[in-house]
Amino acid sequence: MAALMWLLIPLIAAVVTTVWARYAARARKVGDVAELAGYARFREAMERAHSRSDAA
């Protein structure tokens, strides 16, 4: 019985790894367009903050 338990450990690890890999490779709902728009807003905010600190 102990030998069967030792065989179950790699089997369970393989199942968990497969589930994690499928989860990591899933199709994301948010595309590049939203990420690029967020990055553009971030850059604009940083430029505004930088220009305010130069005026002081």
Q: What are the pLDDT digits (tens) for 1-56?
A: 889 999 999 999 999 999 999 999 987 776 677 788 999 999 999 998 777 666 55
Q: End-to-end CA distance of the chain, in Å?
A: 76
pLDDT value of position 26: 87
Angle (nearest 5°) at CA 41 between 40 and 42: 90
